Structure 1
Amino acid sequence: MADRLTEVLCDKSLKDGFVLGIEGPWGSGKSSLLKKTIKKLSTLEEPPAIVEFNPWLVGDKLELIREYFIALSEALESQPDAAIGKSEQAKKQVKEGLQKYSKHINTGANLLSIGALLIPQLEVGSKLARKLTESFEDLSEPEPLHKQKEVLEQALRKICRPIIVFVDDTERLDPPEVMETLRLLRSVGDLPNIIYVVAYDRSAMVRNIGLALKAEDLEATGAAYLEKIVQATLQIPYPEDFALRRWLKAEVLELCQPNEDSSLQGDAIERLNLVIDKEGGRMISTPRDVIRLMNNIKIAWPAIGGFVDVADLIWIHLLKLKRPKLYHWTENYLNGFAEVARGTARASDPEAHYKELLEVAAKDYNPESIDFFHLSRILPGLKKQNYGPGDCEWTTYSIDEEELENLTRFRRLGSPHYYRYYFALGQNQGFIPAQEIKAALQEIQAKSKELKDRLLTAAKERFADGELHYPVLLDSLRPHMPTIDADSRKFFLRCMIDSVDQAIKNSNLRHTTSNRSVSAAKSILYYTTKQGSQMNRELKKIISSEASLSFAADLVRDLVNDTHYSIRFSAEQTTKLKGAFADRLSKDPRQLVLAACPNVVLSMWNACATDREDFQAKLTELFSDTQNLITVIGADDARRTVYSTEGNWRPLVSSYYEDLTGEPGLKKRIESIAMNKDQYPPNLQPAIQNIIDGLKDQKEYEKHWN
């Protein structure tokens, strides 16, 4: 269209002056068309004098007139003499005519001095400023307006090439500013060899004119006034939807550069096409929409390109620009969903969140349509409750571990580990940075000893809320296990098992039950190890000789209680594994004292031991050293937890240990330790205090229930 407009503007029939309107809604590409046309005109062999006039940048009425005539003067000055006339005298006549004429246009304003007209805008001391200042100051009293206009017209007709004035951004003007601009065009619109190209949104322009004139019928009055000034119009054609979508896809692919190492392949490409065709088709209607969307993507991409899914990124930025209410709902929902998925919060009123979603998404996503199923592929936890005829009820915050693993593996918007990159150019607090996850995966593949150091560090470091990094790191790595070769997975398991007890020791909850470090490690183990002989060999290795005894005890508890769906062994296999655990403790009972959760280990040793006399003898011998006894029964996992409507207690049942050992006086020994706390060294004082608190809770608990 720029080529055709260039031809029109160069037509000789416009030599008597012309005002051409370029009409199109906001964002339809009017400014782009003007820029392309100016570029085309500038490359002509004999280019016209081009004036780019933006009234939106001008302050008041006086400034508007001054800026306009300065722009004309500068355009003339930039032209070679051959383009303006045969001599410098012809150029001077045009400029002097413009200066005189400009003084009369500003009705009701002070006469403009040449200093006010030029000096603020031109370089001080320039040849043009000096010459025009001198000529203006030498002028006699102004001639009548019609005489000055005749002189100016005669001078302009001598110009070999036209002056083309491009006026843009008129739709940003307030109604009074619109009227001043139109009055200026009306005053100079019939001057020869000056062509005006005015870009505007017709509906906005007509309304502003009507408002400025205080008309009753805004549209009719505004349209009639506009027709008196604009002699012809060109309508920006409504862009074809498929052309805008094709343009958007080309821009995205150019930015993201899909290749073998890129995440933008296979299913990701299909989802990108779906987002561009579906959501793009609904939300993109003008070239400006594409430009604004890509500007947002280009700003974010360098920082987050390696940590996001392209299709999801396009989708969320479309919402940000075109559906802000749905965008904010999505951000708030994903914040809550991440906490629920981590197990650090419970979903509050999923039905209410679903109703809020319907309110903000009704325009695009009907719950009875296929579009809502498409939405559920983007937003995690959005599940249909029933599939009966006419039943369209959905719920939110539905946790599906397999879905979460896939979302995390492919860095989707719904991943609790990656979602913050889509909103804040970085991860949320409480999650391992994606750079660290990437580094850990590289260490797994390379079987680097640095991986174990990383895990041990994660077993000590905490987030702001007090949670250890360790379980979060394991949860982040688990979805990537299918992409790792078997040998590298085995290496990872060894490093993990060697470090998990350290994480248990540093946990706020010194127990394997409901301990996130334990559950995360077990998920990795069961996820990466096949059922059958491979699982049997792996568990035997862990139970018999691996470093993390408390973790091994928790695995044995799953065997003893048959509580984990991932462990399915025959009775013979289970007996052998239990025997291996009992043998390990029987050979070296002191391992119990060094364990992160000694009472979990003791409980499982008791459950697995087949020789009761040997078990009691080994335990009695271990407890004969009072320091060993204090360490075990003073551990945090020695005290049980009892909840009731009457109160909560954490009793220490001393008789339990007496029964285990078969030693009649053990209960009194424990009570004596509590009564004589000061006799023991400082390193045992925390454990003894725990014993004292546990015995106190035991008495209160018994008193309440007896």
Structure 2
Amino acid sequence: MAKELDSDRAVEVSDNDEFGFVGIAEKLAPRVVEASKGDGMVIGLEGRWGSGKTSLVNFLRSELKGAEAEHIHTITVAPWLNGDTASLVNSVLEPIADVLHLIENEAATPEQQAGAEIAENVGQIRELISTYGSQTARKLAPVATLAGYALPGMQAAGEVLGAAAALMDNMAERPLTPTALKAEIIEKIRALDVGFVVILDDLDRLEPAQAVEVVRLVRSVADFPKVAYLMCYDRDVLADALSEGLKVKDGDLFLQKIVQLTFAIPLPEPFDLRTQFRQEVLKLYKELQGIDLAGDALEDLESAVDQEGQGLATPREVKLALNGIRFTYPSVKDDVYFPDFCRLHLIKTTHFKFYKWLESYLSVRSIIVSGDGRVGADEKKRCGKELKALLPSQKPDSARSIWHASNFVPGIEARQPAKDTVFAATPQYKDEEFVSLKRLGSPFHYRFYFALTGPKTIMSDADIDEALHLSREDVPGLIESLAGYAKTTRQSGRTWFEHILDRLEDRVIGELDEEQLSGMVTGICEVMDTVLEIDNVPRFFAPSLGRLAGRVVGECLRRLNGMNPERHHKLALWIAAECSSINWIVGGLLRTELFHHGHVGNGDQRTSPEEWVFSEDLLQELLDIARKRISDQELQGQILAMPDVSGFMYGWRDISGEDEPKAWVTQVTIDDEVFLQFLQEMRGYAVSDRVYYPLHQQTLEIFFEDADAVVDRVESLVESEHAAEARNIRDAIKQGEGF
């Protein structure tokens, strides 16, 4: 990768300094050195978690090495790694004693005989510090015991330490008190030309009891001259820990008693965090995709970083977002839109609750779009209220506003009431853009952003691509494949064939070449009667399957006509004369075109010539072919076995007029059983308090010479061997009067 996963370790090499910490350390180090030459000073280096405190400390430590020439020694302690008070005391005092031991040895060498007095002085200080540490550890032991820290196989560490200190008291004839020891140590240290900088890092990781003892240690245990303490912590976190550990209302006030001055980690310069994030993700994209991100995608990325990147507050948050992208993007780079992927990881890092809301909302919306489920008013209300709470701003340019989020989350609007905020209808062009670019808002791709795999109710892009490949290279194979999809149902009971029709949106069709357009039209048309036989149930709140197919075929034919009119004409003639799905051709494709040309209906479905699938002249040519084909006696003998008899009969009526269908009905319905069967096939459907399948008076008038005679005949059959069927039809006729 352009950069490996970042373990979030503090920066130690100046070349990796991305936020100016080296410059801060260079200016801060001399002031810390001066503080170590006085009577003792406690400096608070404050910054929130992830702000770079430890990185700054690393650079500061490097700068302080130069101060060793001035006999200023740096000691680093991580109290949160020490399990008890004894080790905490020793971790501060023993390094001081070790430094003094080195000074003692240097002063005792032959070349340094004149320093014998210094060596004696240092030796005394070392002994005093050792005794002082034991005395102090005994004093603090009860607190450590209360904190609950224990060593394996032993009593609580505080108890052990207290016993050890008591034993030392018994061995000494007249042990000095801690106060006396401290006074003697102070007196002797003042006489030495040596100072210490004690760095106490990560104090905000301590448990409350530990936090209390650390600050007490700094103030009371090791409060020596020529010692400067640099305490590193998140002020709010440490103050809360002190409040809990001391059982006081305001831990910050107690902290002020300990710390004489503070230096706060400065905020990164404006846009530094976003700039670093942008640079790193662009490197990653180029490495994985082999090209630079450019054009609209680059603009979308910059917009995402500028908006969602406003929430970045610390270098650590940048690392978290980058690590999430580096870790997962290589696995889904062909299934997601890179700018949206980066946007989502910024949201995950800076606004995690909104991230979880997005995952839930997009999953539900995907099921709605695929037709595998619905959402009720209560669920809409709950979802909308949550969104309003998460994005309360009313300013369109705010990253915390619904206005802004609607640019990448489909179906959300800043409206009242709450239920109208979510799952709103979206323009077709917007949905097509989401799908074609594989954006976060695509119902077919959203899950790759969260789970690295596609939704179970959605066909993979690989399968869709295979269908498009077959449309160019193997049309018989496409027909077989589509027929198989028509026989395979999803969880909702709908077929995968219907899903393919949904995926073939105008934008996808717009990218097909001539061969693919022709092949797709041929494949869909050939399987439509098979499809209707398997799945011809009414779609009460959505277009019928036949209409969905008509949309796809129509768009393919219109585009083919623009590319190659001759091929379009040839394919249209084949559809009318040879396509095996005569039921759908007559009752669906051609009948719809008649409405669009304004030849049937009341004209409200007439469209502009630019939207016609066939020109007026070509349509008339196709109708002549269809009339001749319908007049075939063998075909008419198969009408009652068709999957959509009603659709075919109305199509026949619109293509040839009422006389031919009426004559055929009169002939075939002489037999009572066929009569009732035909009436059953001609029932419509309606939704009120439940689903009804009425038989309308108008239908009887269109296809029978005498509608009243039909009603009388049905009534006469109620007492016949066909009683059940007759009563069913009689009820349907009565229902038709009410709709």
TM-score, L = length of structure 1: 0.72
Equivalent residue in structure 2 for 1:311, among 339, 351, 366: 339
Equivalent residue in structure 2 for 1:604, among 637, 651, 664: 651
Q: Which moved more, 1:536-545 or 1:21-30?
A: 536-545
Aligned Cα root-mean-square deviation (Å) = 5.8
Q: Which residue pairs with 1:222 in the alignment?
A: 254
Q: Which residue pairs with 1:400 in the alignment?
A: 427
Equivalent residue in structure 2 for 1:30, among 23, 43, 53: 53
Rounded Cα–Cα distance in structure 1 between residues aligned with 2:487 and 2:326: 38
SS in 1 for 2:440: coil
The answer to whether the Cα contact below 8 Å between 2:435 and 2:442 also exists between their aligned partners in 1 is yes
Rounded Cα–Cα distance in structure 1 between residues aligned with 2:189 and 2:460: 68
CA deviation string 1:477-508 (max 9, x = no partner): 43423333332232233233333433333226
Q: Which residue pairs with 2:410 in the alignment?
A: 380
Structure 2: which 5+ residue stretches go unaligned? 1-20, 110-118, 154-163, 597-604
Q: Which residue pairs with 1:178 in the alignment?
A: 211
The answer to whether the Cα contact below 8 Å between 2:212 and 2:242 also exists between their aligned partners in 1 is yes
Structure 2 letter corresponding to 1:254: K
Q: Which residue pairs with 2:306 in the alignment?
A: 277
Rounded Cα–Cα distance in structure 2 between residues aligned with 1:517 and 1:97: 93
**Share of identical aligned residues, percent?**
21
The answer to whether the Cα contact below 8 Å between 1:452 and 1:496 also exists between their aligned partners in 2 is yes
CA positional deviation for 1:197: 3.6
Q: Which residue pairs with 1:581 in the alignment?
A: 626
Confirm whether residue 506 of structure 1 aligns to residue 537 of structure 2. no
Rounded Cα–Cα distance in structure 2 between residues aligned with 1:486 and 1:463: 31
Q: Which residue pairs with 2:554 in the alignment?
A: 526
Distance change >3 Å, CA 73–CA 595, structure 1 → 2? farther
The answer to whether the Cα contact below 8 Å between 2:307 and 2:398 also exists between their aligned partners in 1 is no
CA deviation string 1:632-679 (max 9, x = no partner): 9479854322556798344499978984999x99998999899668xx
Equivalent residue in structure 2 for 1:558, among 589, 592, 595: 592
Q: Which residue pairs with 2:136 in the alignment?
A: 105
The answer to whether the Cα contact below 8 Å between 1:419 and 1:427 also exists between their aligned partners in 2 is yes
SS in 1 for 2:45: strand
TM-score, L = length of structure 2: 0.69
The answer to whether the Cα contact below 8 Å between 1:500 and 1:517 also exists between their aligned partners in 2 is no
Confirm whether residue 256 of structure 1 aligns to residue 278 of structure 2. no
Q: Which moved more, 1:568-577 or 1:136-145?
A: 136-145
CA positional deviation for 1:22: 1.7
Rounded Cα–Cα distance in structure 2 between residues aligned with 1:552 and 1:306: 38
CA positional deviation for 1:436: 3.5
SS in 2 for 1:257: helix
Q: Which residue pairs with 2:602 in the alignment?
A: none
SS in 2 for 1:467: coil
Distance change >3 Å, CA 225–CA 151, structure 1 → 2? closer
Q: Which residue pairs with 2:269 in the alignment?
A: 240
The answer to whether the Cα contact below 8 Å between 1:207 and 1:222 also exists between their aligned partners in 2 is no
Equivalent residue in structure 1 for 2:612, among 567, 592, 597: 567
CA positional deviation for 1:696: 2.7
Q: Which residue pairs with 2:13 in the alignment?
A: none
Rounded Cα–Cα distance in structure 2 between residues aligned with 1:185 and 1:45: 22
CA deviation string 1:393-444 (max 9, x = no partner): 9997133112211111111222222233344444445322345345545555
Rounded Cα–Cα distance in structure 1 between residues aligned with 2:457 and 2:724: 33
Distance change >3 Å, CA 584–CA 140, structure 1 → 2? farther
Confirm whether residue 418 of structure 1 aligns to residue 445 of structure 2. yes
SS in 2 for 1:557: helix
Confirm whether residue 481 of structure 1 aligns to residue 505 of structure 2. no
Distance change >3 Å, CA 52–CA 477, structure 1 → 2? farther
Structure 1: which 5+ residue stretches go unaligned? 122-133, 386-392, 678-691
The answer to whether the Cα contact below 8 Å between 2:93 and 2:222 also exists between their aligned partners in 1 is no
Rounded Cα–Cα distance in structure 1 between residues aligned with 2:377 and 2:397: 21
Distance change >3 Å, CA 76–CA 108, structure 1 → 2? closer
Confirm whether residue 495 of structure 1 aligns to residue 520 of structure 2. no
Q: Structure 2 matches for 1:129-168, cutoff 5 A?
A: 141=171, 143-144=175-176, 145=178, 166-168=199-201
CA positional deviation for 1:160: 13
Confirm whether residue 5 of structure 1 aligns to residue 39 of structure 2. no
Q: Which moved more, 1:696-705 or 1:143-152?
A: 143-152
Distance change >3 Å, CA 306–CA 15, structure 1 → 2? farther
Rounded Cα–Cα distance in structure 2 between residues aligned with 1:605 and 1:414: 43
Rounded Cα–Cα distance in structure 2 between residues aligned with 1:418 and 1:150: 72
The answer to whether the Cα contact below 8 Å between 1:258 and 1:264 also exists between their aligned partners in 2 is no
Distance change >3 Å, CA 465–CA 643, structure 1 → 2? closer
Distance change >3 Å, CA 164–CA 443, structure 1 → 2? farther
CA deviation string 1:456-484 (max 9, x = no partner): 33222222222222222232243423333
Q: Which moved more, 1:102-111 or 1:580-589?
A: 102-111
CA deviation string 1:79-118 (max 9, x = no partner): 9x989967999999999887654432231527999xx999
Rounded Cα–Cα distance in structure 2 between residues aligned with 1:303 and 1:610: 60
Structure 2 letter corresponding to 1:543: A
Rounded Cα–Cα distance in structure 1 between residues aligned with 2:541 and 2:677: 18
Equivalent residue in structure 2 for 1:459, among 486, 499, 502: 486
Rounded Cα–Cα distance in structure 1 between residues aligned with 2:92 and 2:672: 97
Q: Which moved more, 1:463-472 or 1:571-580?
A: 571-580
Rounded Cα–Cα distance in structure 2 between residues aligned with 1:626 and 1:250: 80
Q: Which residue pairs with 1:700 in the alignment?
A: 731
Rounded Cα–Cα distance in structure 1 between residues aligned with 2:680 and 2:278: 59
SS in 2 for 1:484: coil
CA deviation string 1:501-555 (max 9, x = no partner): 3333322617999654333322222333327656655443323222333332311
Rounded Cα–Cα distance in structure 2 between residues aligned with 1:476 and 1:82: 78
Distance change >3 Å, CA 541–CA 669, structure 1 → 2? farther
Rounded Cα–Cα distance in structure 2 between residues aligned with 1:104 and 1:370: 57
The number of equivalent residue pairs is 656
CA deviation string 1:277-327 (max 9, x = no partner): 13323x223223323333444454344443222333333444444445655
Distance change >3 Å, CA 92–CA 395, structure 1 → 2? same
SS in 2 for 1:414: coil
SS in 1 for 2:135: helix
Q: Which residue pairs with 2:86 in the alignment?
A: 65
CA positional deviation for 1:276: 1.3
The answer to whether the Cα contact below 8 Å between 2:308 and 2:347 also exists between their aligned partners in 1 is no
Confirm whether residue 640 of structure 1 aligns to residue 684 of structure 2. yes
Q: Which residue pairs with 1:681 in the alignment?
A: none
Rounded Cα–Cα distance in structure 2 between residues aligned with 1:256 and 1:458: 36
Q: Which moved more, 1:634-643 or 1:651-660?
A: 651-660
Q: Which residue pairs with 1:683 in the alignment?
A: none
Structure 1 letter corresponding to 2:655: C
The answer to whether the Cα contact below 8 Å between 1:510 and 1:596 also exists between their aligned partners in 2 is no
Q: Which moved more, 1:248-257 or 1:405-414?
A: 248-257
Q: Which moved more, 1:593-602 or 1:36-45?
A: 36-45
Rounded Cα–Cα distance in structure 1 between residues aligned with 2:515 and 2:547: 23
SS in 2 for 1:276: helix
Confirm whether residue 363 of structure 1 aligns to residue 393 of structure 2. yes
Q: Which residue pairs with 2:575 in the alignment?
A: 542
CA positional deviation for 1:243: 1.0
Rounded Cα–Cα distance in structure 2 between residues aligned with 1:502 and 1:178: 76
Rounded Cα–Cα distance in structure 2 between residues aligned with 1:649 and 1:300: 52
SS in 2 for 1:483: coil
Rounded Cα–Cα distance in structure 1 between residues aligned with 2:542 and 2:294: 39
The answer to whether the Cα contact below 8 Å between 1:413 and 1:422 also exists between their aligned partners in 2 is yes
Rounded Cα–Cα distance in structure 2 between residues aligned with 1:109 and 1:248: 48
Distance change >3 Å, CA 31–CA 584, structure 1 → 2? farther
